[in-house]
Structure 1
Amino acid sequence: MSSMRSTTALSKPSFSTRRAGELIHSWREMVQPSSLPADAAAGLSVACVALPLNVALATAAGLPASVGLVSGVVAGVVGGLFSGSRFQVTGPEAALLPLAAAIVAAHGAAGLAIATVLAGAMQVALGLVRAGRFARLIPRPVVMGFTVGIGLLLLNTQLPRLFAVEDTHADAVALALRHDWGERVGWLGVAAGALTALAMVALPKVHKRVPAVLVGLTIGTVLMVWLGAGYDAVGALPRSLPMPTLPSFEGVHLASLLPAAFGLALLASLGSLLATSSLDALTGASTHSDLDQDLMAQGLANITAGLIGGFPVMGAIVRASASIQAGARTRAASVMHALWLFVAMALLAPLVARIPIAALTAILLVVGVRLLNLEGLVAMWNQSKSTLSVVLVTALGIAMFNVFVGIGAGLALASLLYVRRHGALRLEVQRVTDASQLQRGLHMQAPEALNAPEALDLMVARVDGPILFINHLKLYDLVDGPPWAKLVVIDLSRVSLVDAAGVATLQYLAEFLAVRSAHLALVKVPPHLEAALEPLSKHLLEGRMHGSLEGALLGAGLMQPAPVEEPVAHPAHAYTAAHSSGLALEGRGG
């Protein structure tokens, strides 16, 4: 038996080997002549969206515009090559702006570079310990609240920049409380920003293929140049990429920077993983993207961006969806978007340098309004006010305090609402060491026509209630400590619902037991849960779910069918008796 297990272990490729093989295969797809033209065109479309956004984010954080462009180039290449999703596009993102700006204000540009490198290293570590799967456990209302909160932050911080009064009014709330702010407003810049925003909103309704952001920037820039007015512009840009260097620690207090770096790591990881999960739904992929690989890829991208003094980066659903809609087929589209950005930086630097800051600010304001998803909030008001309350608590916590307070408050409220609605999960467990114990306890149908050895090593559990993100940890009691049973059987007949957290936990239990030469069996799975649990089958005993306890015991080889004596019957009834006996045995399988 041990030799058979050794042979199986040798023949089955390890997790890291499978990951490397899939990655190499996706790289080969990048250079296929049949897909390169489509990927190049998709990359150009994404670059048209990314270029002004990268510049806007860098300048909004108090950094040179070149920082945003350079970060987009290097992160786009690294993230495109190694991401867990072939369609993911990596670059500076609006969700990172508030924290990045706070780091620059407190520690300077060097502090942001150091924090970005540290955050990237933390992301790589999270990927190595396979923490990516837990991103699927976050409730959707909290995720929606996260995006709404980022939208509120953008509106609050960028309105003063549009009116050119950010030096005296740090946010929109302070701006609204003052009555004399109109005396210092640069109304020409406001007009340029308004034209840019109008183009972004109106042009897609005319034709979806029109690069609305670029057209809007062009209109705003032409207006300012034509009027010959002095205005705040992007400024000079480099024509080449800087060489990677270790950031200078001079004047930077590392101890006070670590919490900010940790915040960057969590924020970039959360945003990237949510974006990657959304891409799976958007593309209708038959298999989920590798979230752990995506964590490591985003970490490598942040390390690279930090080493060249860049802006922190993450996977961006807006850019990735634009790539898919433009016809992207492979990873080459993400890499090509970065190469197009480099071409623009090398050839169009004089034009980019003249873009008004007010026009870039307008882009961020439009992005902020779209993140609010007002239509979705109205629909949620009509459908479930309790769910909306989770969204609003999360969003307001982020806008008024910080991301972690907001997400923590949202998770706490979601948990309270769930406990109120569904109650606690009930788990009944019986450790079986003797065949006679199978005849009592847990109300499970016990085997009757089975030969059982005197000694067994079996755990039988029945779950009562839904298995959700708020209570799934109770299932860990089944593997709380040694000695572990050779077979753990879970009866799901009284389970009404299993969410992503429950599925992930059941998979963890199966993998945990498999490493210890044990097995997990799921029995009596309700029909409405079979589709949700089907991806788990390959991790279960015999690679499938079982209809009964008997079937699981037979599959594990812990019991054998009892010999059936040939009945002594009249010849006329012999066939009927044998046929009935056969049906009875078949009914005990599964």
Structure 2
Amino acid sequence: MSLETFLPTARRRLLALAPHRSDYADLPRSWRHDLIAGLTVAIVALPLALGFGVSSGLGAAAGLITAVVAGAVAAVFGGSHLQVSGPTGAMAVVLLPVVARHGAEAVPVVAIMAGGLVLLAGVLGIGRLVAYIPWPVVEGFTCGIGVVIALQQVPLALDTPRAEGENAGLVALRTLGATDWAQAVAPLALVALVVAVMIVLPRLHKGLPASLVAVVLATLVAEVARLDVDRIGVLPDSLPGPHLPVVDLATTSALFSAALAVAALAALESLLSARVADGMADDIERTRPNRELFGQGLANIASGLFGGLPATGAIARTAVNVRAGGRTRVAALMHALVLAAIIYLAGPLVGRIPLSVLAGVLLVTAARMVDLRTARAICRSGRSGALVFCVTLAVTVVFDLVMAVEVGVAVAAVVALRAMARSSGLHREPMPHEAEESHEQLTADTGRTLLHEHIAVYRIDGALFFADVRRFLDELALVSDVRVVVLRLGNVRMLDASGANALVEIIDDLRRRGIVVLLKGLRPEHQRLADSLGVIAALADERHLFDDLDDALAHARAHVRRSLDTATMG
């Protein structure tokens, strides 16, 4: 591409990623709904932001800062009108090992590095790849996150120091072994109260913010009863100023793998969340995936500069926004402004919230992520879907989220290839009814039968690709006692380099045994690949490529006659 062509193309691509006036085209009609939706989302997001900040190892303040800064930046620059961004449970799961290995001061660096990678992915147009992630992988991933979040709450729910380790399950077991159960009664009682309120209240009145009511009620109980439980503690009374973390090359290199994992998760979760929002609101413009990545990249960079956590689009908060009537980005911006007001005006009150209360909120959130009905549906759909779902869930819980998606997609690909290979086949067909031949062309029935015996017609169905070529080679290697093989390729829906190479091997092997190969029905979309890999050149004559079966059979009969005449004369 020349410079004259590249510059206008790059300019158009960058302009497509920038905010537009059209982002707020519906605002005159929807601003009241947007403001109410933003307030509603902020009420739901407050305990989650605090809880995920604590779960990540950086503290409640970092979670709140992330919700404000990243939420505002992603709202303006992201590709979805409905997306609400901030700290999430999945990100807390990934960050806990980072804090354990490198310390809390490494997290803003990881956020900035990951933001740069996500931003680059948006510029390069990688956003549409999320459409290729199978549904069982997404559900297994989501269910696994719910299990890990629940396990992470064990130390907070018991007011017990977190045990050493990175795996959430092992840490939970070790924490249980080190718990003073007499001291754990009070925090467990608060957890039970929160869980009960969050389960019962929506059944009584769906419009009430159950999580906020539960947090306020449990905090009041702790204050009135003067319970000796751990609290959030002192929160900042204002947003910190932006600053660049001081890092050296060695630190940056050590954190790169963590930043890559965070970037992959931020991109994946944000695009999945936006896809969910698109499905919930049919009357809103669809998410622009590359712009969404660009906005999430900027949001992560901004969050890191303010000392916050990496952020992603949050499925739960986005769903609340849609259900509350949000229709433009103003709803997500309103959510960020309300949380900022809480930092400036209500920091001391928020600091009195017990950590076990946040653990109760997150336990309910985690339980809602484990959708048993969907899990049963996937498992009943067939062994392949169940395998992909269970493997993804297990890898999420035992290892990490990014590996879970990689392994899940790989298993899904292998299962799909196996199914495709099974649906493909090589079939020998009976010779079609021959037209009457003249006396000079062998009128005797025995002669006509002889022609049939020396021609074999095979039909290849489905796919001829790397996962199945050996079976085709082995079956055609058994062909004998014929002079011509006609391969019908019209039903080959997919042909890759391995499949084309297999055709070359088949043709060469049969030719060495004196058998002529005729190809019928090679699709136009496969022609270039077959030609470039030598399929056409392997034929005895380039005229041995046919579009019509009758023409191919006529050529085959003529060849057999010539061969028989030559043998008779000899």
Say yes or no: TM over 0.5: yes
Gaps of 5+ in 2: 425-459, 469-488, 495-523, 526-546, 548-570
Partner-residue secondary structure (3-state), 2:328: coil
Equivalent residue runs for 1:454-473 within 5 Å: 465=462
Match of 1:101 in 2: 96
Equivalent residue runs for 1:180-329 within 5 Å: 181=179, 183=181, 185-249=183-247, 253-284=251-282, 288-329=286-327
Match of 1:38 in 2: 33
Equivalent residue runs for 1:67-106 within 5 Å: 67-106=62-101
CA offset digits 1:102-128 (Å, max 9, x no partner)? 112222222001000000000010001
Match of 2:431 in 1: none
In our comparison, the structure showing a higher alpha carbon Rg is 2
Does the alignment pair 1:138 with 2:133?
yes
Equivalent residue runs for 1:421-460 within 5 Å: 421-423=419-421
Equivalent residue runs for 1:399-414 within 5 Å: 399-414=397-412
TM-score normalised by length of structure 1: 0.68
Match of 2:117 in 1: 122
1:368 and 1:285, CA in 2 relative to 1: closer, same or farther beyond 3 A? same
Please report how far the alpha carbon of residue 185 of structure 1 lies from its aligned counterpart in structure 2 after TM superposition. 4.6
Does the alignment pair 1:26 with 2:38?
no
1:123 and 1:184, CA in 2 relative to 1: closer, same or farther beyond 3 A? farther
Question: 1:309, 1:395 → 2: CA distance?
Answer: 32
Please report how far the alpha carbon of residue 137 of structure 1 lies from its aligned counterpart in structure 2 after TM superposition. 0.6
Match of 2:58 in 1: 63
Match of 2:360 in 1: 362
Please report how far the alpha carbon of residue 465 of structure 1 lies from its aligned counterpart in structure 2 after TM superposition. 4.2
Look up the equivalent residue of 1:165 and give its one-letter code.
Answer: T
Look up the equivalent residue of 1:381 and give its one-letter code.
Answer: C
* Equivalenced residues, count: 436
The answer to whether the 8 Å contact 1:160/1:172 transfers is no
Identity of paired residues, percent?
Answer: 33
Does the alignment pair 1:154 with 2:149?
yes
Question: 1:233, 1:242 → 2: CA distance?
Answer: 22
Look up the equivalent residue of 1:25 and give its one-letter code.
Answer: R
Question: 1:73, 1:417 → 2: CA distance?
Answer: 43
Question: 1:19, 1:297 → 2: CA distance?
Answer: 8
Look up the equivalent residue of 1:113 and give its one-letter code.
Answer: P
Gaps of 5+ in 1: 1-5, 427-462, 472-490, 497-520, 523-548, 550-590
Match of 2:331 in 1: 333
Match of 1:386 in 2: 384
Question: 1:198, 1:269 → 2: CA distance?
Answer: 34
1:467 and 1:75, CA in 2 relative to 1: closer, same or farther beyond 3 A? farther
Question: 2:131, 2:162 → 1: CA distance?
Answer: 41
Question: 1:401, 1:179 → 2: CA distance?
Answer: 22
1:29 and 1:237, CA in 2 relative to 1: closer, same or farther beyond 3 A? farther
Match of 1:351 in 2: 349
Match of 2:415 in 1: 417
Look up the equivalent residue of 2:323 and give its one-letter code.
Answer: Q
Please report how far the alpha carbon of residue 132 of structure 1 lies from its aligned counterpart in structure 2 after TM superposition. 0.4
Look up the equivalent residue of 1:61 and give its one-letter code.
Answer: S
1:421 and 1:273, CA in 2 relative to 1: closer, same or farther beyond 3 A? same
Equivalent residue runs for 1:519-534 within 5 Å: none
The answer to whether the 8 Å contact 1:107/1:252 transfers is no
TM-score normalised by length of structure 2: 0.70
The answer to whether the 8 Å contact 2:82/2:329 transfers is yes
Question: 1:124, 1:10 → 2: CA distance?
Answer: 20
Partner-residue secondary structure (3-state), 1:253: helix
Question: 1:59, 1:365 → 2: CA distance?
Answer: 14
1:290 and 1:148, CA in 2 relative to 1: closer, same or farther beyond 3 A? same
Please report how far the alpha carbon of residue 98 of structure 1 lies from its aligned counterpart in structure 2 after TM superposition. 1.4
Look up the equivalent residue of 2:420 and give its one-letter code.
Answer: H
Please report how far the alpha carbon of residue 252 of structure 1 lies from its aligned counterpart in structure 2 after TM superposition. 7.4
Please report how far the alpha carbon of residue 266 of structure 1 lies from its aligned counterpart in structure 2 after TM superposition. 0.4
1:283 and 1:203, CA in 2 relative to 1: closer, same or farther beyond 3 A? same
Question: 1:389, 1:181 → 2: CA distance?
Answer: 37
Please report how far the alpha carbon of residue 36 of structure 1 lies from its aligned counterpart in structure 2 after TM superposition. 1.8
Partner-residue secondary structure (3-state), 2:29: coil
1:466 and 1:77, CA in 2 relative to 1: closer, same or farther beyond 3 A? farther
